[in-house]
Structure 1
Amino acid sequence: MKNTFLTIFLLITAFFSNAQDFKKYDRGSFNKGQDSINYRILFPENFNPAQKYPVLFVLHGRGESGNDNEKQLTHGAKLFLKDEVRKNFPAIVIFPQCSSDSYWANVNITTNDKGKRNFSFVEGGKPTKAMHALQGMVKDFLKKPFVNKEQVYVGGLSMGGMGTYELLRRQRKTFAAAFAICGGDNTNNIRKYKTVPLWIFHGGKDDIVDPAYSMAIAERLKTVGREVKFTLYPNANHNSWDSAFAEPELLPWLFSHKRD
């Protein structure tokens, strides 16, 4: 019984500690015309608006969609609060939130009678409501005097990985590098972001988004792209983002790139 109470106490302590840390991510929203999107933003320690900083947009998965402007911090946000990360990579980190009635990427999803999902990624096409708003938000941030336009990055997981590919092709001259975790895209879209250095991650046992999607993109980019890294975690399921965000070289690799 004593161990049970101790476990519950530790869980509650960890929960409130994380909530307290996440308060360092300021709340914001972008609203222009019909575009509306919430986001959380983490500024570097000792932020000086007279300086220019790298900016990273992190796109969440389907499970973190909504309008609470909080759930999108579930995966990845802790990484950027670490003391060594804040010290070594002083950057502006932004977590936008996709509304529940939209999707980052333009993709058709079907489920068979066994519950297996199939993703049919659109070649070209118009952006979703969420993607259109995200594009507007990104363009708005690029106007800020404290943003280094040579160091703008994007990354995402699952639905956010799919959104990463789509944002890259829709704003192909914006990003210096990107990472995509357990995502996917129509391989015919690759030519539109082949010049962007990309690190792709996937779990070998992913039963939600087939790792074949990432493999196909990586293989195609290796023949036509500028720089592509592909990491497959053989025993990981859909939560390969845990391993990806724990990669010691992820942030050094990402922030080492500058847009030509």
Structure 2
Amino acid sequence: MIRSFLVVLLLMSAANAEEAVDPRVTPELLEAFAAHEFDDDGFTLPYRLMSPKEVDPVEKRPLVVFLHGFGERGDDNQRQLIHGGPSFVTPEFRDRHRAFVLAPQCPAGNKLDSDGNESDEPIVWSLRLRPTNETLAESIDDEPTAPMHAVRALVDHLIEMHPIDTKRLYITGLSMGGYGTWELASREPDLWAAAAPICGGGNPAWAERLKGLPLWCFHGDADGAVPVVRSREMISAISAAGGRPIYTEYPGVNHDSWTQTYKSRYLWDWMFAQSR
């Protein structure tokens, strides 16, 4: 009888366990990052939230917003943890920094045009990805994309729901998320305590807005997906505007400049030392 009861419990546990959509999304990641959805005026944003191991309702803790890359778009609410996620669940990160980490997921597919038909432009975090050398015409005052608007609204929602330190809000992302990081930081530079864009790009015209924000940018000089000039031009423009951004360029590294970046204790110690 006892044995049968244990078998039933095991079967129930297995049925309730969340299955990974990708082998790189480990059970540890799924357990650490709770799955949620956020409705932003009809737009549904899947997201994962990792909370500190012990949450004190009185003690406010930092929040890190992590924006994934193009390949992790979708609606499974898991793939956004493939890159970056493993670094957040390490004992060193969780025990040392005790932070909330938000990992939203950008939808896949293409944008709709004014007639409601699918266009050739993919849905992304930022106004536009710019892997080539054409001039950006978008203004930072233009309406953000629906996913970016939802992320920003979600940050406010989480601040209302959790003991989050509003003086220690951090933004980071890779590739498409690197573009998103540059844009979110530029839209509200006084909101964020620090930003760490990885192998992305922005509009050098935003430099004046970013000159007072602590920034650490990363890129591989052999990047074949997002040319390294995208980061170089941002750092150059911010420096010329009077800012003091930090820039790390990895010799011989292709597009994956995030693995070694997120594994580095130096990045996180620097980031969490920043406060508004």
Q: Shorter chain as normaliser: what TM range?
A: 0.7 to 0.9
Residues 169-180 of structure 1: matches in 2 within 5 Å?
169-180=186-197
RMSD: 2.0
Output the TM-score relative to the length of structure 2: 0.81
2:63 and 2:182 mapped to 1: Cα distance? 17
Q: Which runs of 5+ in 2 are unaligned?
A: 1-22, 110-122
Matching of residue 159 in structure 1 with residue 176 in structure 2:
yes
1:118 and 1:74 mapped to 2: Cα distance? 30
Code of the aligned partner of 1:106: L
User: 3-state DSSP class of the match of 1:49?
Assistant: coil
After TM superposition, what 4+ stretches of structure 1 lie above 3 angstroms from structure 2? 116-121
Matching of residue 255 in structure 1 with residue 272 in structure 2:
yes
Q: Which runs of 5+ in 1 are unaligned?
A: 1-14, 110-115
Code of the aligned partner of 2:256: N
Structure with the greater alpha carbon radius of gyration: 2
2:80 corresponds to: 72
Counterpart pick for 2:153 among 136, 140, 152: 136
Give yes or no for contact 1:107–1:120 (8 Å, CA) kept in 2.
Answer: no
Output the TM-score relative to the length of structure 1: 0.86
Give yes or no for contact 1:53–1:148 (8 Å, CA) kept in 2.
Answer: yes
Matching of residue 83 in structure 1 with residue 100 in structure 2:
no
- How far the C-alpha of 1:169 sits from its partner, in A, is 1.8
Matching of residue 49 in structure 1 with residue 57 in structure 2:
yes
1:16 and 1:73 mapped to 2: Cα distance? 8
Matching of residue 38 in structure 1 with residue 54 in structure 2:
no
- How far the C-alpha of 1:19 sits from its partner, in A, is 2.6
User: 3-state DSSP class of the match of 2:232?
Assistant: helix
In structure 2, the CA distance between the partners of 1:26 and 1:120, relative to structure 1 (3 Å rule), is: farther
Moved more, 96-105 or 61-70: 96-105
In structure 2, the CA distance between the partners of 1:45 and 1:86, relative to structure 1 (3 Å rule), is: same
User: 3-state DSSP class of the match of 1:75?
Assistant: coil
In structure 2, the CA distance between the partners of 1:235 and 1:172, relative to structure 1 (3 Å rule), is: same
Percent identity for Structure 1 against Structure 2: 32
In structure 2, the CA distance between the partners of 1:63 and 1:143, relative to structure 1 (3 Å rule), is: same
1:156 and 1:225 mapped to 2: Cα distance? 24
1:17 and 1:194 mapped to 2: Cα distance? 37
Give yes or no for contact 2:29–2:81 (8 Å, CA) kept in 1.
Answer: no
Code of the aligned partner of 1:35: F
